[in-house]
Amino acid sequence: MSDSPVHLAGKRSREAAMAHDKEAWLAVFADDAIVEDPIGPSHFDPEGKGHRGKEAIAKFYDMAIAPSELTFNFEKTYQCGNEEANVGNIVIRSSGYEVVAEGVFTYRVNDEGKIVSLRAYWELDKATASARRIP
């Protein structure tokens, strides 16, 4: 499992996000990839259509990842073909607050091992309700 293209791409994506390495993070994606994090309307994506293409994904990075410290805690991973679903949470620390987004986080790769779809199934209201001030 750990050496499958989808698992390695997801791992590189998470490592680059945690390291605040924008170029490495963008390099994991195919040119026409889509990021939906979370799926549906949110403050990052008011129309709920996702961020498609490298330019839109770069803007998402600047809004969501750059100002945050992220920790990924995945309890279970399921792989099917060129897709992977991870169950667990992402801890987001930003602006003096910590938020926990619990959910399912999926990756799909193309034949070159580039991510074509990153989808995050987490509920904005529940994550917001988990917010606590960091001392």
What's the number of CA atoms in the CB half-sphere (13 Å) around residue 83?
A: 8
Band of pLDDT at residue 20, cut at 50, 70 and 90: very high
Query: pLDDT at position 135, please?
Result: 84
| pLDDT at residue 19 greater than cutoff 80 | yes
Query: pLDDT at position 2, please?
Result: 73
Query: And the tokens for 19?
Result: 């390291």
User: What is the Cα–Cα distance from 23 to 2, expressed in whole angstroms?
Assistant: 23
Q: CA geometry: angle at 123 spanning 89 and 54, to 5°?
A: 75
3-state secondary structure of 115: strand
Query: And the tokens for 33?
Result: 């990839």
The least confident of 1-15, 71-85, 90-104 is 1-15
User: What is the Cα–Cα distance from 114 to 112, expressed in whole angstroms?
Assistant: 6
Please check whether residue 66 is in contact with residue 35, taking contact to mean a CB–CB distance below 8 angstroms.
no
Topology of the domain covering 5-133: Nuclear Transport Factor 2; Chain: A, (3.10.450)
Residue 122: count other Cβ atoms within 10 Å of its Cβ: 18
Domain ranges of the chain: 5-133
